[in-house]
């Protein structure tokens, strides 16, 4: 069987259904992935199948969505058609989550399906994890495994113990990290800032840890906290994508 045609959104201008880097695969009888649906995708699939029939291997085209396709987006996209049997995996952000309680489970349920994150989930006992497709790590002392995280990892601290939370915060602040969030109230965070300062951490460095996490307007239910945290992290992902494609 011949290779399918891989369609890649290589550039966008104005309003577009999907961001640059989005891909899909097209075979004569099926597809995988999506570049946004609608007339854009329909015509792109038709072009890919025409290429398969004619034996052509590559094509690039800039498509104005409004005048060209009658779509309401109003922007333009540049598409690349090429032979390829797999979708390129986007670089994933390392996300380390400490705690497999109600909030930890809710956050993993929301974040795990997203391709932008490579999750490592840490807790003190194997029986605390539900069945999951993310990487789990059992550690009697979760703070001791922080050193194994990549320097550009983001951390969410959600354990059942304030002492564990503090030790993990201390470990994170003692090494490079991209971002960190701690579950807790404003009162808890005020106490932690005092204790972390006593451990030798500069207040400006301590302030890189966000606490409380989530959006208070969503409420305090674990699912609501998870939605707030995921929204903030996805927003940062979108901002990075725009920076790369500007």
Tens of pLDDT, residues 15-32: 888 888 899 999 999 999
Long-range pairs for 172-177: beta carbons < 8 A, 24 or more residues apart: 172/146, 172/209, 173/201, 173/205, 173/206, 173/208, 173/209, 175/146, 175/147, 175/151, 176/151, 176/152, 177/149, 177/151, 177/152, 177/153, 177/208
The predicted pLDDT at position 239 comes to 46
The predicted pLDDT at position 20 comes to 87
Mean pLDDT of the residues in the chain = 89
* 122 vs 177: CA distance, rounded Å: 17
pLDDT > 80? residue 2 = no
pLDDT > 90? residue 162 = yes
Between strands 76-83 and 58-64, the pairing is antiparallel
Q: How big is the CA angle at 54 (ends 88 and 10), to the nearest 5 degrees?
A: 30
């Amino acid at each position: 069987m011949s290779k399918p045609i891989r369609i890649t959104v290589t550039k966008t201008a104005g309003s577009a259904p999907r961001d640059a880097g989005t891909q899909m695969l097209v075979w004569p009888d099926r597809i995988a992935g999506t570049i946004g649906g609608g007339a854009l995708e329909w015509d792109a699939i038709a072009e890919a199948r025409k290429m398969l029939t004619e034996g052509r291997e590559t094509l690039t085209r800039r498509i104005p969505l409004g005048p060209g396709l009658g779509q309401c987006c109003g922007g333009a996209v540049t598409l690349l058609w090429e032979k390829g049997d797999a979708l390129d995996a986007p670089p994933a952000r390392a996300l380390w989550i400490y705690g497999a309680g109600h909030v930890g489970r809710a956050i993993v349920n929301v974040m795990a399906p997203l391709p932008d994150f490579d999750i490592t989930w840490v807790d003190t006992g194997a029986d605390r994890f539900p069945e999951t497709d993310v990487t789990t790590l059992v550690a009697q002392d979760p703070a001791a495994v922080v050193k194994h995280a990549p320097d550009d990892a983001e951390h969410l601290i959600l354990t059942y113990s304030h002492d564990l939370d503090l030790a993990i915060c201390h470990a994170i602040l003692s090494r490079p990290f991209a971002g960190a969030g701690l579950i807790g109230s404003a009162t808890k965070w005020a106490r932690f800032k005092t204790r972390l300062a006593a451990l030798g951490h500069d207040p400006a460095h301590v302030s890189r840890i966000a606490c409380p996490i989530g959006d208070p307007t969503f409420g305090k239910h674990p699912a609501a906290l998870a939605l707030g945290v995921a929204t903030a992290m996805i927003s940062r992902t979108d901002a990075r994508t725009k920076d790369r494609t500007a």
